[in-house]
Structure 1
Amino acid sequence: MDLNADLAEGFGRWELGDDEALLGVVTSANVACGFHAGDATVIRSAVERAAERGVAVGAQVAYRDLAGFGRRFIDVPRRELTDDVLYQIGALEGFARVAGTEVRYVKPHGALYNAIVHHAEQAAAVVDAVRAYDPGLAVLGLPGSQWLEQAERAGLPTHREAFADRAYTPEATLVSRREPGAVLHDPDEIAQRCLALAAGEPIRAVDGSEIRVLADSICVHGDSPGAVDIARTVRDRLADAGVELRPFAAGGR
């Protein structure tokens, strides 16, 4: 199983999350590319630290929305969204090359991530960008999403993601952050749920029903309160249960 977290989400003097601590826990890092968060110095630092620790680097691409932290839907034309995603992957690849590593995968962020679960045209735009950049580049997303279905049809290496600290609907999509109980906070509860996810066992949806979420990677949000403690508890619980932790996306594509 892979553990991933969102990094490089500070900007200038404004800091968000503890990248250094999280890089000691996770096996893959979703690095912001400057559109929803991150500036050149913050991004380069995160990539360098990831390379030093052997953590896989992924491009966390987003709508151009710094003010809204990429959590607002934007009705972007297909070609424009493709160009925006290409721009972000290329920028991160430059920092990765300087640090002696590479971008191994692409994971959309926030509103874009949620939109392309069902929004076929925007999903196609992101697939177009990844294929144009490198058809061997892996992608990460919600199981059953338009994003992963179209990526698989396009021949891209696809990987499924589950969320350690987010509530699920009965349809196995994420509960909106605007709803109460959308984000989980208890480290032990979260770690126990991650054990179930790693074993392919059902977990409880927000209405109490049981759903099955098959995943190659589990995300722990770096901007949640107590994120580092949650991530460490999850990693320790998985390791104690004999779950091997390693990046889902191999290098040397």
Structure 2
Amino acid sequence: MRHLLPGLALMIATLASAPQAGAVTCGPLEHDGNRYIVCEVDAASEDLRLFRSDDNGTPFGHFSVLKSELARQGQDLVFAMNAGMYHEDRSPVGHYIEDGHEEMRVISSPGPGNFGLLPNGIFCIGKDWARVIETRDFLSRRPDCRYATQSGPMLVIDGALHPRFLPDSTSRYIRNGVGTSADGSRVFFAISQNTVTFHEFARLFRDALKLPNALFLDGNISRLYAPQVGRADLGRRMGPIVAVTTPAQ
């Protein structure tokens, strides 16, 4: 708790003074000695969507390419983050829905790598709401997702940390993920500013942000576009991208 309260106070102060873009706020947060950037999105009021490729099927790959395409359509890019694991051709590894069209089915079997470290989950964006849902629960409920991306492992499942996470793990990476409030109205995207373990990252969502469910997005190509905090990360080409857009002024 000694780490949590100063960190939250710093984030609140930053958000209060930062330029606001609709109901998207970004700021730094410290938890247990680790540094993060956390962005909160109001799912009811913001245009939160997934993007992977243009009308010709060419993957966007970079925030700058997506930003240029949105500008051509009279839209501004407010916030963006890489949104799930992908193959060499930038196609999604797991379930993927964009604007109601399913590009990839749900993968529910265990497998290699982080994606197959069950339980994994699906980030589902509906009309005026968004939720992180564990994959087996998703298959039983079949929610109406306008957009969806599957990744893994889950970080937090109904308030509990993933059972495979070890407090004394030595596997440390820059990591990013997403968590949602119980009612689906608030979405929190986080990216670490220093290398963290899965256990540390999951506790950020459960203990600091108080979210019942959270999903790991990646740990190798974690990137953020958030002009509020001066971030427009470069690097290897991405697959799915989650973004908030707004009509150009």
TM-score after normalising by structure 2: 0.27
- Greater RCO, CA 8 A, separation 6+: 2
TM-score after normalising by structure 1: 0.27
